[in-house]
Amino acid sequence: MTKKKILFAIIICISMIAITVGIVWGYRIYRREQNPYWQAAKEIDKVQSALQEVDEDWKLESISEVRPFVIKGPNNVSINYYCCTTTYLNEEPSELEGLNKTALDMAVDIGTLENRSDCKVGSWCGVQGELDGLTYLCWTVSPKYSCVLEYTAGTIAEKDIFHMPESVAAENASEKIENN
């Protein structure tokens, strides 16, 4: 009789542990499915799988993300600062000459800018142009970071706009976001 009670207690304990593990596992899956980064990763995987069905040579090279910052000034003037971060999945280029057009195009289509002119933004290559009444100043800091300033022409002096990139470090802005 005692052996039956011990065996019964062990079976109950194992059952309770299995139920607890199942509940915790299910909750983790539920939370993961609610995470927007997980959902994005699933969508990326679907696209990559579909392309690989057509041709096995398709490989996901990089993921770019745009983080917008709205900066308000006096007289209700605002500047939108977009920090474009590119994560390279295979091999990060050691150096990038010119603009990271792929990342910048996520904030503004550089090809459609009117009155477009190449320029220097600090020591970096940049481009400035207008679209729909707004002026855009775009530059690439490194293969990983690119930046876009969006503002209404005439609301802030041109020399001040070109001074801002010297003060704004893309790495610092991204680190602040990631730490929050």
Worst-scoring range by mean pLDDT, 48-52, 141-145, 152-156? 48-52
Residues 85 and 144: beta-carbon distance below 8 Å: yes
pLDDT at 63 over 70: yes
Q: Whole-model pTM?
A: 0.63
Kindly report, residue by residue over 28-60, the tens digit of the pLDDT. 888 777 777 667 777 777 877 777 777 777 777
Q: What are the phi and psi torsion angles at 29 (to 5°)?
A: -65, -45
- Give the span between the Cα atoms of 40 and 21, in whole angstroms: 27
139, β-bridge pairs: 126, 147
Q: Which of 152, 168, 158 is nearest to 79 (CA)?
A: 152
Residues 107 and 134: beta-carbon distance below 8 Å: no
